[in-house]
Structure 1
Amino acid sequence: MLEMFEKDDTDMQAAGPDSVPLVQYETLRKEFEVIQERLSQAQASLEDSRAAEELGDEKCEEGDAESTDALREKLHGLEEQLASSKSELEELKEQMRLGVLSVESVEGNIAAAVAGAAEEGEEGEEDEEEEEDEEEDHSESSEPSLMSEHSRRLLAKVREDLEVARQEAAQALDCLCAEREGRAQDALQLKDAVPLSKHEEALSALSEQVAQAEINAATARFNDLTRKHEKTCTEVFQ
């Protein structure tokens, strides 16, 4: 019986590194910084285009100037929406991080429970050597039953925490998708003949790509970590 507990503890330790998301999260953060750099370059290019347009449009009518100002106000609104979207993405990543840490905490409790059960099993075997054969058989048949029930409860708790984290991530993702769709509709309305509108559409499209890439990458990594945690828990109680 002691050998079985030691084997469970060894399997759990071997599976531990797969459940640590810090390295993957750091990689995701670096990828997002690269995308932000590309966005900054696009904004710088837009500013250059604005300066060139101002030099070339000195002879434009007053009505054209007012139209350009209106487009610039819309562009400012899009930039504010992009900043808001980035903030929401950070909140989503924080929720995912907290969900993973919660699962790791539960997994640590499982490890402690298994270690405690192994120690109790070792002490029980020492006592059984001094008892009658009939009592020894009874003890050996009852202990696995108690351990099995305890393991099932712990596994159910792990799955419950995973489900809660998954639902929170799904709700945040739905909210971001709904807002992104609304911003896309606003961008489609900017079909003006003024050249500045093309730059605004490019900036809006880039902001959509940033949000979509972050959401897809974060969701994929979260699902992968969820599968690894479930696999780890299953191996612990086999």
Structure 2
Amino acid sequence: MNTPVTDQKNVTQPNPAKKRKLIGDRGNYFLNRIQGETGANVSACYQCERCTNACPVSYFMDIKPHQAMRYVQLGWREDLLTSSTIWVCLSCEMCTTYCPNEVGVAEVINHLRNIAAHSSITPKERNLAVFHQTFLEVLRKSGRVNEFRLMNAYYLKPNILHEKIKSGSFKEEILLGLTLFRKGRLKPFTARSKAIKDIQKAYKQARGEIV
């Protein structure tokens, strides 16, 4: 049997950029960084998908939890930090609970969100990113989260109130707030936490580790 001769001129040459993409932009640096900063053994993930099946909001994610772990292994940093996954995550830790290898999926995703929040990367889910940052600001100032104060601070962020009114969701949220207030579930004022100094110290330490 004659072996067909391949015309070398017609052979598609490998794209250097794609080759680099397959092995990750930073080799194992990103994987080692995430594992070192979170204590999660991401290398132990073998893609069983139990985390994704357990996640109540995986349907809304562009990168599923099990895929996110694989992306970390491959060093695909930009894909993760520009995804909607890190902002959609509820931090319910169902993924971590159901992981047979105790990878710590939720810890990794939370850490990725913090990295993105303190970087110059434009978040894919802007409103969720703004809410996340507002939540941390309120927590840092008072040591506990007051829903009334949180939502007021959130609405005062640039373009948030305008977008809420334009989409029609502002009226629904106001009605929900009034209902909660009448039932005593929404308090306008709450006392500052007695551990406010410790909380602020922990916040500064965490931010220093991320930057």
Q: TM-score, normalised by structure 1?
A: 0.19
Greater helix share, 1 or 2?
1
Higher relative contact order, chain-length normalized (CA < 8 Å, sep 6+)? 1
